């Protein structure tokens, strides 16, 4: 029979990789393996095992093991008798402590010790189970062997127990009893009633403690190694047979014929072509209604010049009465320009006298996820204009720009500076300029970006060159 080992303050946490179901080792935090060695009796062994409890920190234990060895920070464990195997997650608390089985062993040890001591003398009989219902009865029967007499016999018991009937000076009975109820725990010098939540888990406390684990994911993880194709096949082998399935499905829907993506399934489960069937049905149903004369008659009083003008008057776009000339040969800033006005006379869009119009842009992405740095030609090979046009504005914005940020950005065309924009510290809104030294764009012009100064932590920038393009 093994003798339990008890160690004070042997507490740690489970280290990676924890312990899976059936595992024989629990690794504790680095350096904590030494806590699980008795200062005089040494490490746990098969003949002197150490009881280990595991579970989430600040919650009742859920795993109970016997530690029979220790190597560094690795504890050799086996599931305690009468307990259910539980996995140990990384970060779970691992501690040595008392459980109900320890109290049972101690009680039995004390009982055996009592019996052994009293049995040492002759002429003494001991009956009973040593419980409240059946206390030990010690009686002197006398005898013929030896010499001398016993004039007084008494009995003492540890705290938590009481004894009556002593001392016995002739014939008598000792009665050992206790007023403790429920879970009883050893104190090292006696026994005491266990405290819920400390020495054991009450039903309500157990439900609360297990609630984070009794989830679909947790149950799935625990049952994953049990509910497999093999186990299901073995369990259902007498039910999921060809004969049983055929009988069960015999009256169900038969095979459905599949078709192409242009077909649909009719109510009688036959296939039809949607466009063909709908056109045929519409033609048959509306043949007497949808004709030129029928439509003319039906819509004649609604679709007229007067009704269209009345209906669309507030939405129509008006073109100013102008003479449109060939802008490809017209001199700059001469002749008429094409303007599109809305109903109230506000300019909606325009091409100028040189035939430039529309709204286009070149976009540079700067310092995407990294800090902006100074330099020239930050955009490899630059951005090339694909049309003739005019630059109307240049804007820049940095979404990350703190109190130590700020930057000066220079825009070049074919290597020559055409605009400079200064972004102040903490500014994360658009900075725009129309002060541009050269607005003309020729197809093939190369635009690029230089940064002449920059603060710290300036990121996620965008620079926009807004421009029109030639209509011819």
Domain residue extents for the chain? 11-97, 313-348, 356-470
The rounded distance, in Å, linking the Cα atoms of 355 and 335 is 11
pLDDT at residue 347, rounded to an integer: 56
**Where do we find the tokens 């003479």?**
323
Two structure tokens written together for 397: 């914005």
In the numeric block, the tokens 């949808």 are attached to: 290
N- to C-terminal Cα distance for the chain?
Answer: 104
pLDDT at 164 over 70: yes
Q: What is the pLDDT of residue 45?
A: 94
- Domain 356-470 of CATH type 2.40.10.120: no
Residue 149 CA to residue 170 CA, distance in Å, equals 10
- pLDDT score of 269 more than 80: yes
Quote the tokens at residue 312: 């669309």
Q: Residue 461 and residue 458: Cα distance in Å, rounded?
A: 8
**Per-residue pLDDT at 40 exceeds 90:** yes
Contact (CB, 8 A) for 173 and 137: yes
Per-residue pLDDT of 431-460, as tens digits, reads: 999 999 999 999 999 999 999 999 999 999
Q: What is the pLDDT of residue 372?
A: 96
**pLDDT for residue 356:** 78
pLDDT at 142 over 90: no
Q: Which of 79-93, 197-211, 358-372, 455-469 has the lowest mean pLDDT?
A: 197-211
Q: Dihedral sign, CA of 306, 308, 314, 318?
A: negative
Q: Which of 153-167, 262-276, 346-360 has the highest mean pLDDT?
A: 153-167
Q: Which structure tokens are listed for 325? A: 């000339």
CA distance 23 to 19: 6
Instruction: Give the least confident one: 277-281, 298-302, 320-324, 327-331.
Output: 320-324
pLDDT at 19: 94
What is the distance between the alpha carbons of residues 137 and 122, in angstroms, rounded to a whole number?
A: 15
Dihedral angle computed from the Cα positions of residues 450, 453, 459 and 461, in that order, rounded to the nearest 10 degrees: -40
Q: How far apart are CA 103 and CA 394, in angstroms?
A: 84
In the block, tokens 């764009």 appear at 441
Assign residue 206 a region: left if phi > 0, alpha if psi is -120 to 50, beta otherwise?
alpha
Structure tokens at 132: 């409240």
Q: What is the pTM of this model?
A: 0.32
Rounded mean pLDDT of the chain?
81
Tell me the average pLDDT across 289-318. Answer: 63
Segment 105-111 mean pLDDT: 68
Query: Is the predicted pLDDT of residue 335 greater than 80, yes or no?
Result: no
Residue 400: left if φ>0, alpha if ψ -120 to 50, beta else—which one? beta
Whole-number pLDDT of residue 330? 45
Is the model more confident about 249 or about 328?
249
Both tokens assigned to 392: 């109307």
- Best CA proximity match to 91, nearest among 149, 21, 15, 8: 15
pLDDT at 91 over 90: yes
Taking alpha carbons only, the member of 54, 10, 61 closest to residue 197 is 61
Token digits for 287?
């043949």
CA-CA distance, 317 to 328, in Å (whole number)?
26
* Stretch 203-223: mean pLDDT: 75
SS (H, E, C) the chain: CCCCECCCCCEEEECCCCECCCCCEEEECCCHHHHHCECCCECCECCECEEEEEECCCCCCCEEEEEEEEECCEEEEEECCCCCCCCECCCCEEEECCCHHHHHHHHHHHHHHHHHHHCCCCCEEEECCCCCCCCCEEEECCCCCCCCCCCCECCCCCECCEEECCCECCCCCCEEECCCCCCEEECCCEEEECCECCCECCHHHHHHHHCCCCCHHHHHHHHCCCCCHHHHHHHCCCCCCHHHHHHHHCCCCCCCCCCCCCEEECCCCCEEEHHHHHHHHHHHHHCCCCCHHHHHHHHCCCCCHHHHHHHHCCCCCEECCCCCCCCCCCCCCCCCCEEEECCCCCEEEEECCCCEEEEEEEEEEECCCCCCCCECCCCCCCEECCCCEEEEEEEEEEEEECCCCCEEEEEEECCEEEEEEEECCCCCCCEEECCCCCCEECCCCEEEEEEEEECCCEEEEEEEEEEEEECC
* Cβ proximity of 94 and 114 under 8 Å: no
């Amino acid at each position: 029979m093994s003798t339990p080992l008890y160690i004070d303050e042997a507490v740690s946490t489970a280290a990676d990789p924890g312990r899976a179901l059936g595992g024989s080792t629990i690794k504790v935090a680095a350096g904590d393996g030494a806590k699980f060695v008795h200062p005089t009796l040494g490490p746990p062994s098969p003949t002197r095992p150490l009881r280990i409890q595991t579970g989430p920190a600040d919650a009742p234990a859920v795993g109970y093991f016997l530690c029979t060895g220790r190597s560094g920070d690795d504890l050799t464990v086996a599931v305690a008798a009468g307990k259910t195997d539980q996995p140990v997650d990384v970060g779970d608390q691992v501690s040595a402590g008392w459980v109900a089985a320890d109290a049972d062993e101690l009680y039995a040890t004390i009982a055996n010790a009592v019996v052994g001591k009293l049995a040492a003398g002759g002429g003494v009989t001991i009956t009973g189970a040593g419980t409240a219902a059946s206390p030990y009865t010690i009686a002197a029967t006398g005898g013929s062997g030896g010499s001398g007499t016993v004039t007084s016999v008494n009995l003492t018991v540890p705290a938590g127990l009481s004894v009556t009937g002593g001392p016995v000076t002739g014939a008598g009975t000792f009665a050992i009893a206790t007023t403790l109820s429920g879970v009883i725990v050893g104190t090292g010098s006696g026994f005491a009633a266990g405290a819920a939540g400390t020495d054991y888990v009450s039903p309500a406390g157990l439900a609360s403690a297990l609630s984070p684990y009794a989830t679909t994911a947790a149950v799935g993880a625990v049952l994953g190694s049990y509910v497999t194709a093999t186990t299901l096949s073995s369990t259902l082998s007498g039910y999921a047979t060809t004969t049983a399935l055929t009988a069960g499905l015999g009256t169900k829907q038969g095979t459905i014929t599949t078709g192409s993506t242009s077909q649909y399934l009719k109510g009688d489960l036959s296939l039809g072509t949607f466009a063909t069937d709908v056109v045929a049905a519409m033609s048959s149903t509306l043949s007497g209604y949808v004709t030129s004369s029928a439509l003319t008659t039906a819509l004649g009083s609604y679709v007229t010049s007067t009704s269209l003008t009345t209906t669309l008057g507030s939405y129509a776009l008006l073109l100013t009465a102008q003479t449109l000339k060939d802008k490809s040969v017209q001199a700059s800033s001469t002749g008429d320009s094409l303007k599109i006005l809305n109903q109230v006379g506000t300019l909606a869009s325009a091409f100028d006298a040189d035939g430039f119009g529309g709204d286009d842009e070149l976009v540079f992405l700067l310092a995407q996820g990294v800090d902006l740095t100074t330099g020239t030609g930050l955009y490899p090979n630059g951005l090339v204009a694909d049309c003739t046009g005019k630059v109307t504005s240049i804007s820049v914005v940095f979404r990350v720009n703190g109190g130590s940020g700020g930057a000066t950005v220079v825009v070049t065309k074919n290597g020559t500076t055409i605009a400079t924009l200064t972004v102040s510290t903490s500014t994360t809104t658009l900075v725009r300029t129309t002060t541009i030294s050269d607005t003309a764009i020729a197809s093939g012009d190369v635009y690029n970006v230089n940064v002449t100064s920059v603060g710290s932590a300036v990121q996620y920038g965008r620079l926009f060159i807004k421009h029109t393009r030639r209509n011819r």
